[in-house]
Structure 1
Amino acid sequence: MSKTDLFRQMATYNQWINGRFYEASGRLDADELARDRGAFFGSILGTLNHIVVGDTLWLKRFATHPSGAETLRAVAALPDPASLDQILFEDFGALHEHRRWLDDQIIEWADGLSETDVDQVLAYRNSKGKPFNKRLSHLILHFFNHQTHHRGQVSTLLSQAGEDVGVTDLVALIPDES
Structure 2
Amino acid sequence: MSQLEQFALLARYNAWMNAKLIDAARQLPAGALTQERGAFFGSILGTLNHLIVADTIWLKRFTHHPAGFAALASVAALPTPDGLNDIPCADLDSYIARRSVLDDALSGMVAALQPADLDVVLDYKNFKGIAMRKAFAPLLLHVFNHQTHHRGQASTLFFQAGVDIGVTDLPMLIPDEV
User: TM-score by structure 1 length?
Assistant: 0.97
What does residue 29 of structure 1 align with?
A: 29
For 1:101 and 1:120, how far apart are their aligned partners in 2?
25
What does residue 161 of structure 1 align with?
A: 161
For 2:91 and 2:68, how far apart are their aligned partners in 1?
29
Q: Per-residue displacement from partner, 1:47-69 (whole Å, max 9, x unpaired)? A: 00000100000000011102244
For 1:67 and 1:49, how far apart are their aligned partners in 2?
28
Residue 119 (structure 2) pairs with residue 130 (structure 1)? no
For 1:74 and 1:25, how far apart are their aligned partners in 2?
25
Offset at residue 96 of structure 1 (A): 1.0
Q: Runs in 1 of length 4+ with deviation above 2 angstroms?
A: 67-71
For 1:172 and 1:29, how far apart are their aligned partners in 2?
29
What does residue 3 of structure 1 align with?
A: 3
Residue 45 (structure 2) pairs with residue 50 (structure 1)? no
For 1:152 and 1:101, how far apart are their aligned partners in 2?
22
For 2:68 and 2:158, how far apart are their aligned partners in 1?
34
Deviates more, 1:36-45 or 1:95-104: 95-104
Deviates more, 1:62-71 or 1:122-131: 62-71
What does residue 118 of structure 2 align with?
A: 118
What does residue 107 of structure 1 align with?
A: 107
For 1:63 and 1:26, how far apart are their aligned partners in 2?
32
Look up the equivalent residue of 2:174 and give its one-letter code.
Answer: I
- Could you tell me the percent identity over the aligned residues? 51
Given that residues 30 and 92 in structure 1 are in contact (C-alpha distance below 8 angstroms), is that contact kept between their aligned partners in structure 2?
A: no
User: TM-score by structure 2 length?
Assistant: 0.97
Given that residues 68 and 109 in structure 1 are in contact (C-alpha distance below 8 angstroms), is that contact kept between their aligned partners in structure 2?
A: no
Tell me, which stretches of 5 or more residues in structure 1 are unaligned?
none
For 2:147 and 2:48, how far apart are their aligned partners in 1?
10
Residue 55 (structure 2) pairs with residue 78 (structure 1)? no
Residue 51 of structure 2 aligns to a residue whose secondary structure is: helix
Residue 72 of structure 1 aligns to a residue whose secondary structure is: helix
Offset at residue 30 of structure 1 (A): 3.8
Offset at residue 120 of structure 1 (A): 1.1
Number of residues of Structure 1 aligned to a counterpart in Structure 2:
178
For 2:49 and 2:171, how far apart are their aligned partners in 1?
26
Residue 86 to residue 30, structure 1, CA distance change in 2 (3 Å): farther
Look up the equivalent residue of 2:160 and give its one-letter code.
Answer: Q
Residue 38 (structure 2) pairs with residue 38 (structure 1)? yes
Q: Per-residue displacement from partner, 1:127-159 (whole Å, max 9, x unpaired)? A: 110111111000001010000000000010001
Residue 21 of structure 1 aligns to a residue whose secondary structure is: helix
